[in-house]
Structure 1
């Protein structure tokens, strides 16, 4: 499994790689190569590739941000937090999934259909664990992330906005988790999804972002708000 360093994203250093059967994007974000970084959504099988990037690039993990509580986004969170002695941030509505991702009805069956079996899960929270709320500003690795509560895919789904200074092309980066993708949006037919709530999130949170915002989704490639506003069929509200 390889990883990519997107050449279109500058100012901050970003490494990303798809992990597990769902090819969930795990991101490492920091001010520059060779310094502190923030790990976003370390999911199933993510930890080995993460270790390699940290070693190869001389990075020092400073914290873990979780966009939501689905197992493909947070499976390795406790292991990463323990290995590097760092804290983890998640919205309280999705916190129960950190200790029992199969507590949601039908979740174990869904995971088993994808992986062939439901993988064993370490039933403990990352420590220290911090709860985030809409509008919180989280300072890590010399960067400031703004939490944007964006429920619908899950009750606690949260996007993280990062200012994008000194570049006339872009205003901000937003790590979207499974809220919005290039050409699509997060499913609401999964356990804990709510299509009515998602519609409000898309209308007021996603479409409220500036056009020159780079979106870094939980699956697939990066995109721009202006592109999604014009072409994403789920955003033609």
Structure 2
């Protein structure tokens, strides 16, 4: 599986393109905006997009989902149903934060713990990781040991928990039970900022390092 990260929106949110090298079928993860930039990379790489997948429903991650799905006739998968209230508030979020208009949408498939996502010959495992939002999910590609974790975990930090239905203890539990168990050698694409590995964050991240949980 190949991937390319495309920072979008004024928040520099890491939209990701993932694709199967054999079939060139691919998915776009969290198309929050700047759709022309995303489509340009899709065209440059020769990818046949087959679906949109979402980690969670904050505006900077899903603001472009409805428009892209309609334009390219793509099914939408994710996030978890618990984030539906965020999807319903997208038009108001966009207006309040000065973003381009964003429409609500209904995923073709809500995602749950243990689901998988398939494109070409590739399979992503789905894990439910609430805390930043109640319906946040992450995607794991076991063969390449790559995780796409949205705003659960960052290099040196973790997701905010001061939004509606966010919870710090729940987020820490998600990280330690759903991410760390995948292995220290897993690299991850966060929702913002540079990539890192779970092993590095277990040693150094001030919020969730192992030394905090002796």
**What is the deviation of 1:208?**
1.9
TM-score where L is the length of structure 1: 0.82
Q: Secondary structure at the match of 2:66?
A: helix
The alpha-carbon distance between structure 1 residues 121 and 108, as it changes in their structure 2 partners (threshold 3 A), is closer
In terms of fraction of residues, the more helix-rich structure is 2
Alignment match, 2:24: 35
The match for 2:106 among 125, 141, 144 is: 125
**What is the deviation of 1:158?**
0.4
Alignment match, 1:159: 138
Equivalent positions of 1:108-187 (< 5 A) are 111-112=96-97, 117-125=98-106, 129-164=108-143, 172-187=145-160
Equivalent-residue separation in structure 1 for 2:177 and 2:105 (angstroms): 34
Equivalent-residue separation in structure 2 for 1:108 and 1:87 (angstroms): 23
CA-atom RMSD in angstroms: 2.0
**What is the deviation of 1:17?**
1.1
**What is the deviation of 1:36?**
1.1
Residue pair 2:94, 2:102 contacting (<8 A) in 1 also: no
Q: Secondary structure at the match of 1:18?
A: strand
**What is the deviation of 1:222?**
0.9
Alignment match, 1:86: 74
Report how many residues are paired.
209
Q: Secondary structure at the match of 2:141?
A: strand
The alpha-carbon distance between structure 1 residues 78 and 141, as it changes in their structure 2 partners (threshold 3 A), is farther
The alpha-carbon distance between structure 1 residues 80 and 141, as it changes in their structure 2 partners (threshold 3 A), is farther
- Give CA deviations for 1:4-61 in whole Å, capped at 9, x if unaligned: xxxxxxxx2111111011100010001228811110000022x111110111111110
**What is the deviation of 1:130?**
0.6
Q: Where in structure 1 do 4 or more consecutive aligned residues deviate above 3 Å? A: 123-126
Residue pair 1:34, 1:57 contacting (<8 A) in 2 also: no
**What is the deviation of 1:77?**
0.9
User: Any gaps of 5 or more consecutive residues in structure 2?
Assistant: none
